[in-house]
Chains A and B, each alone.
Chain A
Amino acid sequence: MLILILTLVNLVGAVAPEKDWGEGLVIDAVAPFLGVINWVNDTFNDTLNVLLNYKEVKEENNRLQKKVKKLNWKIHQLNETAKLNDRLRELLEFKIRKPFTFIGAKVIGKSADNWSQIVTINRGSKSGLEPKMLVVTYNGYLVGRVEQVSTYSAQVLLLNDSNFTIGGLIAKKESREIGIVNGSLAETDLLKMNKLPWDANVEVGDKVITSGLSKLYPKGVLIGKVVKVEPEDYGLTHSARLKPFVDLGTFEEVLVITDF
């Protein structure tokens, strides 16, 4: 009987692996409420902040206005340089790297238990999201991967979830070693990079980017910095601990890479 049940369970997984068993419907039904509560929470916090630190906010406003003027001038200069750059590139017939296309989204909910690291964002298949797309912050640091997509919202599996896996590459001139980056349960603020060769030239402080070997994910998205290297599998491989560039507990807005 038990064997029969187990076989059936496995068969269901094999026959319909990508089926959405109404999960999307539930997420879509709940998502609007998440949005509303989030909005109330944000407005409340912001208003309270302004009221409590009125003087600081005023000073900051002045400072920022000055900065905007300065930056506007700088943008103008940079535009000129960009034009020059384009012209020179054309002359040299340089291959232009295609930039990624992004969709911005807001985090409206988090995971419902302490074991998983998931966030719900307010964009779904209607905006062109698909599972397996990578999610980054505004500075281009990796946050996670889109898992479940419903019509108006999507769930993102964060880097430090124990089910998250992606190919990583040490970004250094003298070593381009490849390893597998995993989230870990024991220390949720660190990631683990496994299966580095035993003679890999990896040091504390090296940057790790996505490897792009699988064609599913783009290459060159920044993941984190090495903080510890230790031997594993009785010295046959190395494993490194990475600290993600993003504080995975606090970000509020993200970009989804839809094309690369």
Chain B
Amino acid sequence: MRYPVYILLILISLILQITIFAFNPVWGITPDLLLITVISLSLLNGYRQGAYIGFIAGILQDVFSSGLFGINTVTKMLLGYIFGFLEKKIYHRNIITPLFTMILATVLNQLLVVLLTDHIMLKVELWNHFKEIIFPLTVYHLILALAIYPTIYFINNKYFEE
């Protein structure tokens, strides 16, 4: 029962991301709801599940974006895996730590995408990109995570906590 619900959560994030959030961009950028969902789920479930969830979310995101297929799969899986190690180390009821991981995850995700796509690496100046996309994106993600993390925490706690 746990995994169908997680996949449903991922699908909802994807659909919201490419419709409402993409049609009404803030500061000209689309937020990555999938990233927030993946990190939240992996913080609550550990590294192994984090990697699975990241893989599924990433492959879905790749279907709906152009360019190198698989880039989001790799980055999302990696981030789900890395941040899953924090599962036992943080206090889940406190929202501050998850928010900090969200900042770290956003910056890491963007840097990984830049590093793995050579045509971005060669053509775009990193600093410009940082100023125009990564910084506003981080702020945006932070605000969204304030709503998403508690929701996922609530669902996780209410239905799947033994």
Q: Are A109 and B119 in contact (CB under 8 A)?
A: no
In the complex, chain B residues whose CB is within 8 Å of the CB of A113? 30, 32, 61, 65, 72, 113
Residue of B nearest to A189 (CB): B28
In the complex, chain B residues whose CB is within 8 Å of the CB of A198? none
Q: Does A117 contact B (CB under 8 A)?
A: yes
In the complex, chain A residues whose CB is within 8 Å of the CB of B23? 38, 41, 110
| Cross-interface CB contact of A38 among B17, B19, B61, cutoff 8 Å | B19
Q: A residues touching B (Cβ–Cβ < 8 Å)? A: 23, 26-27, 30, 33-34, 37-38, 41, 108-118, 120, 147, 155, 157, 161-163, 184-186, 249
What total of chain B residues lie within 8 Å of the partner, measured CB to CB? 33
Q: Does B53 contact A (CB under 8 A)?
A: no
In the complex, chain A residues whose CB is within 8 Å of the CB of B22? 109-112
Q: Are B64 and A111 in contact (CB under 8 A)?
A: yes
CA distance A23 to B14 in the complex (A): 15
Q: Are B14 and A30 in contact (CB under 8 A)?
A: yes
In the complex, chain A residues whose CB is within 8 Å of the CB of B125? 186
Q: Are B65 and A118 in contact (CB under 8 A)?
A: yes
CA distance A113 to B14 in the complex (A): 11
Residue of B nearest to A107 (CB): B23
CA distance A177 to B11 in the complex (A): 47
Q: Does B20 contact A (CB under 8 A)?
A: yes
4 nearest A-B residue pairs (beta carbon): A110-B22, A116-B66, A112-B64, A116-B65
